[in-house]
A and B are shown apart, each in its own frame.
Chain A
Amino acid sequence: MLEELGTNDQGDMIINVGPQHPSTHGVLHLVITLHGETVKKVEPHLGYIHRSIEKMSESLSYRQFSYVTSRMDYLSSHINNHACALAVEKGLQLEIPGRAQYIRVILDELTRIASHQLWWGALAMDLGAFTPFFYSFREREMINEVMEETCGARLTMNYIVPGGVMFDLHPDFQKKVKIFLAEFKSKIHEYNELVTGNIIFQNRTKGVGYISKENAISYGMTGPSGRGSGFKCDVRKLHPYELYDQLKFEEITEEGGDAFARYMVRIREMEQSMNIIEQLIDNIPEGDFQAKTKAVLKLPKGDFYSRVETARGELGVYIVSEGGTTPYRIKYRSPGFSNLSALNDLAVGGKLGDLMATMGTLDLVIPDIDR
């Protein structure tokens, strides 16, 4: 590849962005063909942090393998663990206690809010606004403290295990979550005033990085990125797991298909997540937080596929079991991977400066793509 860098015979300039670049949020390497300032082609080069999690998982037991998935999409580690637990529970045909279901859903939604907060701050910083980053980290810290007390970790939780959750909630959990909700309600308004309504921000995101609904489906773009193009792909609605079929919440879609539409989906989703937590936080039932399981889990022969909605889209865990104590083959269908595959389509024809807005609103997390 290196000898091709420079210019090609049509006078187009070929430049590298990354693997170490602030706007790629991790080690993503893009080779961009530019005609003047117009993007003609974007080619992602992956693998800088490929750890072969799928191969590793083949020699880990059904209790162990979910721990490495916290290192995939590290901003949704709870939800990744949840997907693994669901796949194993599907294989064992295990019913999990109500208390564990409530805890799982509340923590999933807190994770989603925390992830969107970080995305919001980082996107604004990509576009040259520095203040939002501090605003979002201020509120995110409150969620991290709740997580730390209950799970013992701030990033790689490993709290959701097959059969339920690992420990019971911290006594202060409900109180602190309620304080957070009350605080953050007013803060979303602040977010909107600071960034959403800002004319510079709107000019830089409206009409940028457009993708149609048909293409979004064809590329498998899910999560807020897909819903920004009007693709109804929320797994919580389509294939409800845990309590989601009993909860009242709205699936947010926008029709714009551009960077601003994807932005609005995430902002509005934070409100829906708070809504979900409010429905659950006072009603957590008493009882066990973990179902009784054997010390060594053995899945029957067959295929088990679980789908969950992470902060970035649809995560699929596909376990092929041969009846042993370790999976025969595991595939993680990560949302970031499919969303990235659409990047070329989104960026072509736009300007180089707009690429940052396009990539920022795809909300890429590179370890999720590389696995």
Chain B
Amino acid sequence: MNKFIVKDLMVPLSEYATVQEGSTLFEAVLALEKAQEEFDYEHTPYHHRAILILNKDKRVIGKLSQLGVLRAILPKNELTQQIEDISRFGFSTSLINSLREKYRLEEGILDDIYKKATRMKVEDYMQTPSEGEYVDEMTSIDTAMYQIVIGTHLSLIVTRGDKIVGLLRMSDVFAAVFHAMKSGELTE
């Protein structure tokens, strides 16, 4: 395990789901589906869970996770905002959920979802990577693991000099740790 470096476990950028800046949320979801279908699952059982957003120079400018997609499609209006505000005042999840049930719009979240997704632009919902989300491809996995845990990141963007070359996913690091544990068990 301690011999691994980031580039051993990373998913190359070419295999990852990416869309151009200006794409719609629907296009991003399609890109994710396509990447999942084409991905080689021989070495890892884990699906891709995010889409990278590239600018016209093919540089990564953001990341849209599955959580980000769900967040994007939640209705946003005065009523939902009021309930979000109320949650700041220390009420229980149960009470906040009962308010959501009471006041939720007659139209559900999934009504008209296709139309909504074709209007939304990815850059409005993507997360811009922070400085702590980049890691050099030659970094040891041990050190990268610290970065993932301390920053609570689901993935790190892997760099080679100025260039972004891939993504180190928490799921792949976890799989490597798991294999190391099992190897240890067999050796003993």
Answer yes or no: are A and B bound together in one complex: no
